[in-house]
Amino acid sequence: MLNIALPKGRLGDKVYKLFSACGYDCSAMERDDRRLVLRDEDGRVQYLLVKPSDVPIYVEHGAADVGVVGKDVLLEGGNDVYELMDLGFGVCHMCVAAPVGFREDLGAPLRVATKYPAIARRHYAGKSREIEVIKLNGSIELAPILGLSDVIVDIVETGSTLRQNHLEIIETILPISARLIANKAAMKFKSGEINPLITALRGCMQEEEKA
């Protein structure tokens, strides 16, 4: 049986749709209840619904064999897992944004508010820029408005939240999308189950591209 960790929420719903289109359907998933472990009747797959940022942790420790998670979470967590596929959805960008008209004071450390301290540190270390990281858990856009930080590092999908808060992108760090990840040991012992999943997902994605 393949254990699949899915992020709870919108991304997870999308992923489940793709998986069920590939033949990995699970009637228990379609009933909207509050269970977190959902098993297919014939015992072929088991879906685990977890907080998005926990998906790589479940996979790294082998509680799930494979999982789907945004590249942003992978980059931030640095978990030791295989990253097998780009599923091509949940597309957005990791960006640096600042109040419209922002001018950087190069004489002082840059104050960066973010949910992604590791990504922010790595990005600015690459430019030898000293920063002060302010770790927030949500409503990042508020930080520069209130003067809590100079800039923010966050994922940007359409940019409308930024515009509404008078912020603009000043730098794009890298593109983000949903990735299929796998536990290293599961890849050895369950390749007979994981490889067909990859083939099926590739097939589905190609058909979608054609359509």
Partner 1 sequence: MEQRSEARREQLMGRLRNVYESLGYTRFSMRRFEEYALYLENKSFLKSESVLTFTNPDGKLMALKPDVTLSIVKHARRERRGVEKVYYKESVYRLASTGGEFVEIDQMGVEALGAIDRYTVGEVVRLAIESLRAVGGAYVLDISHMGFVSGLMEAAGLTPEKKERFFDLIRRKSAHELAAAVAAENVSQPYAGYIVMLAELSGAFPAVLARAQAIAVCDGMRNALCELAALYDLLSSVGLSDCLQLDFSMINDLDYYNGIVFQGYVQGAPRVVLSGGRYDHLMRRFDKEGDGIGFALYLDELTRVLADKPAWDADVLALYRETDDPAKVNAAVFALAAQGLRILAASERPADVKAEKTMVFTGETFEEGTRDA
**Does position 185 bind partner 1 by CB under 8 A?**
yes
Q: Is 193 in the site for partner 1 (CB under 8 A)?
A: no
User: Is 72 one of the binding residues for partner 1 (CB under 8 A)?
Assistant: no
If binding is defined by CB under 8 A, does position 189 make contact with partner 1? yes
CB of 116 to partner 1, least distance (A): 18
- Residue from 9, 30, 184, 199 that binds partner 1 (CB under 8 A)? 184
Kindly tell me the number of DSSP H helices and DSSP E strands found in the chain.
9, 11
Which among 178, 177, 156 has a CA at the least distance from the CA of 167?
Answer: 156
Q: According to the binding rule CB under 8 A, does residue 202 interact with partner 1?
A: no
DSSP run (H or E) holding 50: strand 45-50
158 to each of 95, 170, 191, how far by Cα in Å? 12, 15, 38
Q: How far apart are CA 152 and CA 144, in angstroms?
A: 7
206 binds partner 1 (CB under 8 A): no
81 is a site residue for partner 1 (CB under 8 A): yes
Query: Judged by CB under 8 A, does residue 127 bind partner 1?
Result: no
Cβ closer to partner 1: 145 or 204? 204
Residue with Cβ nearer partner 1 (31 or 188): 188
| Chosen residue from 15, 26, 45, 85 binding partner 1 by CB under 8 A | 85
- 68-78 burial: b if 16+ Cβ within 10 Å, else e: bbbbbbbbbbe
Any bridge partners for residue 1, and if so which?
Answer: none
Residues in contact with partner 1 by the rule CB under 8 A = 60-62, 80-86, 182-189, 191
